């Protein structure tokens, strides 16, 4: 996986379209692609997989080993760092049980998002400012630049770990099934986009999604710390409230505004202009649309949360993901949660 120069083309970057332009052009391109696909079917899919998918066994093995490494590292960090920190800060028992999950995710997403932000905003890659350039000079089996390959290894192995962690390590919540679907779809997208050399698109997707996860976990940690020691800490409460507002804004701006207008427009419309016979066009766009639907699904939780705050149904900001009492009681708890089952568990939004 050697580093390779990225060509941005001689033309000026294409202006970002409006929602109406994105929908109109993407729909027209998809219809034209469907009409022009005379031999679409399993035969074409098998040929495309054989001719254009490039994913070596050592790369899969390395990703699997890294996934095991993430799981071991999280277990060690929980036992040696996160739980002692919760005990030292005298967090409430329920908050202490949840701190390791949020702290772990915050560290990972902050590191990965910072790295992707550096690649997109601090290097030669023009993909953020010129999304159609993700398909310039695309070739089947082209070399993946080592810096983008490193981002793919981190993200792919982490989502392998996350599928296991959602079931066996994280607190089970009302949206955990949707979270599992999200992790599976994301992992398939990561693996297939790397194999088909759509890694430039993947880098842009990482950047647009991880920033809201950083703010979500940071806000949750401040919620846990605001009642430490049995007293209310105004600074953590203020930071949690500001973080919630920032999280809501960034979720909409990055995932529901920039993601469709930058990523979906590039994959649905611009891809066919650069590579008319681009392989697995409908497969990748279907997965990206599923990801968009899940982003809208979670945004509905955000809207419901804002409505509760504005109407006075919630007097203070609590956890940012809904915790369902009945599901929590019927699901096998992690070790950190077992002492908490006899306590009062309230339903919380987000």
Q: What is the DSSP string of 59-94?
A: HHHHHHHHHHHHHHHHHHHIIIIIHHHHHHTT--HH
Give 297's contacts (C-beta < 8 A, 6+ positions apart).
Answer: 178
Query: What burial letters (b/e) apply to 225-246, b meaning 16+ CB within 10 Å?
Result: bbbbeeeeeeebbebbbebbee
Q: For residue range 13-48, what is the model confidence (pLDDT) as tens digits? A: 888 999 999 999 999 999 998 887 766 766 667 777
Residue 319's pLDDT band, with cuts at 50, 70 and 90, is: low
Q: For residue range 155-202, what is the model confidence (pLDDT) as tens digits? A: 999 999 999 999 988 888 887 888 899 899 999 999 999 999 999 999
Nearest to 138 by CA among 309, 327, 267: 267
Give 257's contacts (C-beta < 8 A, 6+ positions apart).
Answer: none
Region of 327 on the Ramachandran plot (φ > 0 left; ψ -120 to 50 alpha; else beta)? alpha
Cα distances (Å, whole numbers) of residue 103 to 98, 215, 273, 324, 334: 9, 12, 43, 21, 16
């Amino acid at each position: 996986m050697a580093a390779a120069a990225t060509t941005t083309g001689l033309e000026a970057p294409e202006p970002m379209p409006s929602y109406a332009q994105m929908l109109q052009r993407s729909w027209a391109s998809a219809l034209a692609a469907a009409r022009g696909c005379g031999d679409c079917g399993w035969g074409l899919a098998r040929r495309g997989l054989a001719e254009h998918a490039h994913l070596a066994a050592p790369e899969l093995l390395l990703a699997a080993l890294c996934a095991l490494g993430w799981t071991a590292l999280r277990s060690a960090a929980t036992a040696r760092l996160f739980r002692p920190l919760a005990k030292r800060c005298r967090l409430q028992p329920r908050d202490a049980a949840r701190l390791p999950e949020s702290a772990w995710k915050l560290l990972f997403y902050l590191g990965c998002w910072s790295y992707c932000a550096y690649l997109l905003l601090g290097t030669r890659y023009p993909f953020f400012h010129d999304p159609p350039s993700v398909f310039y000079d695309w070739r089947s089996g082209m070399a993946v630049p080592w810096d983008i390959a490193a981002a793919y290894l981190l993200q792919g192995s982490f989502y392998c770990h996350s599928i296991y962690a959602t079931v066996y390590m994280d607190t089970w919540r009302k949206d955990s099934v949707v979270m599992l679907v999200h992790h599976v779809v994301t992992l398939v997208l990561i693996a297939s986009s790397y194999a088909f050399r759509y890694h430039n698109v993947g880098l842009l997707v990482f950047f647009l999604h991880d920033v809201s996860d950083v703010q979500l976990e940071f806000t949750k940690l401040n919620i846990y710390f605001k009642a430490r020691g049995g007293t209310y800490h105004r600074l953590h409460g203020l930071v949690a409230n500001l973080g919630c507002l920032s999280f809501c804004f960034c979720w909409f701006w990055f995932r529901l505004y920039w993601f469709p207008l930058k990523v979906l427009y590039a994959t649905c419309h611009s891809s066919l202009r650069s590579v008319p016979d681009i392989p697995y066009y409908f497969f990748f766009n279907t997965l990206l649309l599923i990801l968009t639907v899940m982003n809208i699904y979670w945004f509905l939780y955000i809207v419901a949360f804002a409505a509760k705050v504005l109407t006075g149904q919630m007097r203070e900001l609590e956890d940012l993901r809904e915790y369902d009492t009945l599901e929590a009681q019927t699901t096998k708890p992690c070790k950190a949660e077992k002492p908490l089952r006899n306590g009062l568990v309230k339903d919380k939004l987000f």
